[in-house]
């Protein structure tokens, strides 16, 4: 930790603000609270329909809509909780507790924070393009340099609020062509990021993960899954078009030179722990 006495006034001021700030991953409100825009009117109409004794079929339809949207809201807000801290999906990842980790598609820092908090001896390189996909998820405006700067500040602010910012380096870059030498990292993590790429991009990113890992390095891949939670909450609205099953992900991992040692599922999520062969 940098001593307060060594800080100039401006730095000290920024430090003070950051210590009191909260972690805010910045996923958009309409993804998390959008179902309430249906739930509230549907509930009100259900009450009116019931009090005015409208047709039973109408009351039943309105009640079903209200129930679906309310349960979907609860699934997304509390089950998936994408603006909350993410626990490591498996205790087997970097069980030694230390090492240099690359986070491919770090976004606003949620996956980097997951590693930094659970594995206190690690340092993390948080890599993101900070381009169109970043803006789509987390917002941003101005030139590409300004968006990179906004992205950098958002990650730092989140990691600082958690007291782990000394162990991160933020690196703009594309996971399909990583700006690192072969065998640089002890582990790579990527959460809800590779699944945003087109099929050719997915293959390139997996090969890149393998290239920058040291021999026997670990790769923790976390992706969205089109499970019952997702199907119930999002229904026919194809919010994410590139979802694959666990079998296909393992084939892709194998093809890129990994041996998957553990895989599993969480609400809306699949995870794979693999080792570079």
Ligand X SMILES: C[S@@+](CC[C@H](N)C(=O)[O-])C[C@H]1O[C@@H](n2cnc3c(N)ncnc32)[C@H](O)[C@@H]1O
Can you give the binding site for ligand X, defined by CB under 6 A? 105-107, 110-111, 127-129, 133-134, 137, 174-176, 191-193, 196-197
In angstroms, give the least distance from the CB of 16 to ligand X.
27
Residue of this chain nearest to ligand X (CB atom):
107
Q: How many other C-beta atoms are found inside a 10 Å radius of the C-beta of residue 84?
A: 13
Nearer to ligand X, 107 or 217 (CB): 107
- For the bound state, the minimum distance from the C-beta of residue 115 to ligand X, rounded and expressed in Å, comes to 11
To ligand X, the closest distance from the beta carbon of 87 in angstroms equals 12
Tokens 């693999």 -> residue: 274
CB of 91 to ligand X, least distance (A): 19
Distance of CA 18 to the CA centre of its chain: 22
- Could you tell me the smallest distance in angstroms from the CB atom of residue 226 to ligand X? 16
Kindly tell me which of 134 and 249 has the beta carbon lying closer to ligand X.
134
Closest separation between CB of residue 220 and ligand X, Å? 11
Nearer to ligand X, 139 or 245 (CB): 139
Question: Please, which residue, 57 or 237, has the CB nearer to ligand X?
Answer: 237
For ligand X, the closer CB: 115 or 253: 115
CA distance 68 to 66: 6
Residue closer to ligand X (CB basis): 32 or 47: 32
C-alpha distances in Å from residue 6, one per residue of 9, 13, 15, 27: 10, 13, 12, 35
User: Treating both helix axes as pointing N-terminal to C-terminal, what angle do 110-118 and 144-161 enclose, rounded to 10 degrees?
Assistant: 30
Give one DSSP letter per residue of 146-194, joined into a string: HHHHHHHHHHHHHHHHTT-GGGEEEEE-BTTB-SS-TT-EEEEEEESSG
Q: Give CA–CA dist 106/126, Å, rounded.
A: 5
Distances in whole angstroms, Cα of residue 205 to Cα of each of 162, 195, 261: 29, 10, 20
C-beta contacts of 145-151 below 8 A and 24+ residues apart:
148/172, 151/108
Q: How far is the CB of 176 from ligand X (least distance, A)?
A: 5
Comparison of 43 and 197: residue with beta carbon closer to ligand X: 197
Antiparallel, parallel or unpaired: β 185-191 and 213-224:
parallel
């Amino acid at each position: 930790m940098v001593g307060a006495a060594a800080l100039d006034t401006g730095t000290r001021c920024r430090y003070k603000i950051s210590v009191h700030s909260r972690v805010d991953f910045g996923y958009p409100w309409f993804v998390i609270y959008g179902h309430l825009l249906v739930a509230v009117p549907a509930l009100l109409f259900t009450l009116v329909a019931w009090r005015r004794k409208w047709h039973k079929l109408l009351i039943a339809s309105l009640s079903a809509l209200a129930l679906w949207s309310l349960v979907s809201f609860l699934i997304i807000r509390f089950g998936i909780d994408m603006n909350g801290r993410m626990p490591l999906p498996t205790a087997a990842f970097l069980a030694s507790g230390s090492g240099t980790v690359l986070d491919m598609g770090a976004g606003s820092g949620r996956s980097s924070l997951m590693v930094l908090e659970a594995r206190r001896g690690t340092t993390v390189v948080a890599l993101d393009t900070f381009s169109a996909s970043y803006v789509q998820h987390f917002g941003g405006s101005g030139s590409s340099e300004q968006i990179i700067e906004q992205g950098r500040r958002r990650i730092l602010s989140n990691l600082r609020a958690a007291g782990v910012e000394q162990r991160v380096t933020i690196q703009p870059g594309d996971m399909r062509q990583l700006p690192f030498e072969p065998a640089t990292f002890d582990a790579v993590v990527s959460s809800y990021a590779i699944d945003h790429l087109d099929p050719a991009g997915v293959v390139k990113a997996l090969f890149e993960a393998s290239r920058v890992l040291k021999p026997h390095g670990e790769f923790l891949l976390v992706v969205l899954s089109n499970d019952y939670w997702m199907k119930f909450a999002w229904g026919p609205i194809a919010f994410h078009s590139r979802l694959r099953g666990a079998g296909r992900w393992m084939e892709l991992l194998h093809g890129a030179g990994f041996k998957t040692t553990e895989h599993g599922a969480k609400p809306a999520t699949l995870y794979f722990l693999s080792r570079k062969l």
